[in-house]
Structures are given as structure tokens and as C-alpha cells.
Amino acid sequence: MGAIYILWLRELKRYVRSRVQVVVSLGQPCLYLLALGFGFGPVFQQAGHGSYLQFMAPGVIGMTVLFSSVFSGIAMLWDRQFGFLKETLVAPVPRLHIMIGRTLGGATVASIQGLLILIICLIAGFRPHSWTVLPQAIAFILMVAIVFSALGTAIGSVLQDMQGFQLIMNFLVMPVFFLSGALYPLNNLPRIMTIITRLDPLTYGVDGLRGSLIQSWRFNPALDFTVLAIVAALFLSLGAYLFSKIEV
């Protein structure tokens, strides 16, 4: 268990020391929030759906957690390139503990960034239905972070260099984001699109956040949390298996 704590703490220290990373990582979510939130606001309101900023803020929080979580797993490539991963793998600790420590560290960093974006949303004018729902929203942020940190670890265990990074972005992360309903309602979609969106785990994370913060549920909190827990267990198992196959 000591290895889990050390790797978790290392991820936090690396995040805190990288002030540039903290600032840059908030740039894209703020762009979506301000450009789309205020740009499409009048159109969304005329369509009778209320404030677009209220609708999309939970989606932007989910996007922030998604990107940060996956990137934390892919950061394993840098550790492999500079030799830190080799030093970690030859340590006399189970690889499962190493994998769990990295995953929890990445999930914690992603959750912190999600909370920072939530604060920015509040400054921009977003208001939750009730302040008492914040613990439930934070729980969904943590679940989304664990799910995609585990996925990121699995991806980082397979990739050998940074050349596959752009492929992961174009064919996995971006579709997961755009098909989650973060930027648009999922009502009245074609049947095939409805099926695809329901296969997207981020859909349930965004629905949990949106439902918790503004009481706009597509499913229900029990289903959202259950799906995220099941997917987290699957990705953790996959990540643990692939991580155990890494050659020193």
C-alpha cells in the first residue's frame, strides 16, 4: 500500500509544480465555456431550452476531467522515455499497486482540474440548483476521473512512443467527448446515435453532473453511478492486465 501512496503523491507533486500545465489545461475548457456558452446562448434560449451556460457548464466540467484523466495515463510514455518507469517497475512492489497508485494520482489531478473549472463556471454566471448538491456532483467528478484515468493507464501501457498520441486523440477521446451530450441535448436523436451515446461512459458522467447541478436528468443518479462503477472496474482490470505485461 505504501507504493500506491507514493505514486499518488508523486502525481500530485508533479501537477502542483507545473504551474504552466495548470494554466494551459484550463484554456480549452474556458474557450468552450465562454465562446460557446455565450455565443450559442441566444439560440438555445430562443429554442425554449433556457440558459445554454447552465446546460453546458456540467459538460465542460466533464470534458476537463476526461482530457486530464486520459493525458495523465499517457504521461506514462514520458516516464518510459526518461527511465522513471523502469525504475518503478523493478522496485520490489506488486505492479498492481503501481498501476493503482498512478491511476488514483491521475484521477485526483483530474478531479482538481474539474473543480477549478466548476469555480470558473460559477464566476461566469453558472448557478447550481442548490448548494447542497455539490457533494453529489463531486462524487460524479471522482467517478469520471477514475474511469478515464484507468483507461489512460491502459492506453499508456500499450503505446510505445508519442506517435500514437494523435491517433488516440482523434479516434477515441474526441468522439467520447462529442458523443456524451456535453454540448447538446440527447433528445430526439436518430436511433443509431442514441445507441452510440448510451455506449459512451462519459454520457453517464455528464448526465450525473448535469442532474446533480441543475436537476436535469436523462437517466437517474443510481443508473449513472452504477454504469460508471462497472466501467471503472472493467477499465481498472484491463489497465492492470496490460500494465503487468510491460517489459522492463
Domain count, the chain: 1
Q: What is the pLDDT of residue 14?
A: 62
Please state, in angstroms and rounded to a whole number, the distance separating the CA atoms of residues 64 and 82.
27
53 is in which domain, residue-wise? 2-244
Buried b (16+ CB within 10 A) or exposed e, 73-106: bbbbbebbeeeebeebbeeebebbbbbbbbbbbb
Q: What is the pLDDT of residue 5?
A: 63
What's the predicted TM-score (pTM) here? 0.87
231 pLDDT tier (thresholds 50, 70, 90): very high
Average pLDDT over residues 128-141: 90
Q: How many CA atoms lie within 13 A of 29 on its CB side?
A: 31
Q: What is the pLDDT of residue 17?
A: 56
